[in-house]
Amino acid sequence: MTRTAAQHDGDPQLEKLIRQVQEEQRTLLLDRLDNDDAWRLGCLLVELGQERGLPIVVDIRRGGQQLFHAALPGTTADNDSWVTRKSRVVDRFGAPSFLVGLRSRLKGSTFEHDTGLPLQEYAAHGGSFPLTVRDVGVVGTVTVSGLAQAEDHALVVEALRAFLGEPGPTT
């Protein structure tokens, strides 16, 4: 049986996923983000995508400037649109695009209903993550588009963990 949005209210699995993403945001902090850092993180994501044969677009932005962008085979201009729309969610709400969408789902609602923002400009789907510099705050975004939203998000988190030299999750 397919569950409706209203049936997600109070869903323990959804609540657990929200806590996990909140913890990722709280702990995946950078000491800085310069152009070289963006290049290294972007290349790491591209390498992961190439090794796994993933059709992804990788994008890194800081303060509105695109520092890194790569489109692997199998992607289209539509993926670029998704990158832009997901990045806007992070810029506006200061949280992973996946988390913003999950919070609406938990309330039995949708991002569009909760915010009134146009779908053509904003997408609260997984794959864009705030680049947060310790003691500074959110300075940019790292975004992946091309997979299912949970997979886009997981790939970004995996790359950030590797970039920061952290082990993967213990779950």
77 Rama class: left (phi>0) / alpha (psi -120 to 50) / beta: alpha
- pTM of this structure: 0.91
Mean predicted confidence (pLDDT) in 111-123? 97
User: Per the structure block, which two tokens stand in for 127?
Assistant: 């794959």
| pLDDT digits 0-9 by tens, 122-160 | 999 999 999 999 999 999 999 999 999 999 999 999 999
CA distance 11 to 65: 38
78 Rama class: left (phi>0) / alpha (psi -120 to 50) / beta: alpha
Q: Is pLDDT above 80 for 82?
A: yes
Contacts with 76 (C-beta within 8 Å, 6 or more apart), sequence order = none
11 to 57, 71, 84, 97, 153: CA distances (angstroms): 32, 36, 30, 20, 20
Contacts with 93 (C-beta within 8 Å, 6 or more apart), sequence order = 100
| pLDDT digits 0-9 by tens, 31-66 | 999 999 999 999 999 999 999 999 999 999 999 899
pLDDT band at 99 (very low <50, low <70, confident <90, very high): very high
Grouping H, G, I as helix, E, B as strand and the rest as coil, residue 10 is: coil
Q: Would you list the domain boundaries of the chain?
A: 8-164
CATH class of 8-164: alpha beta
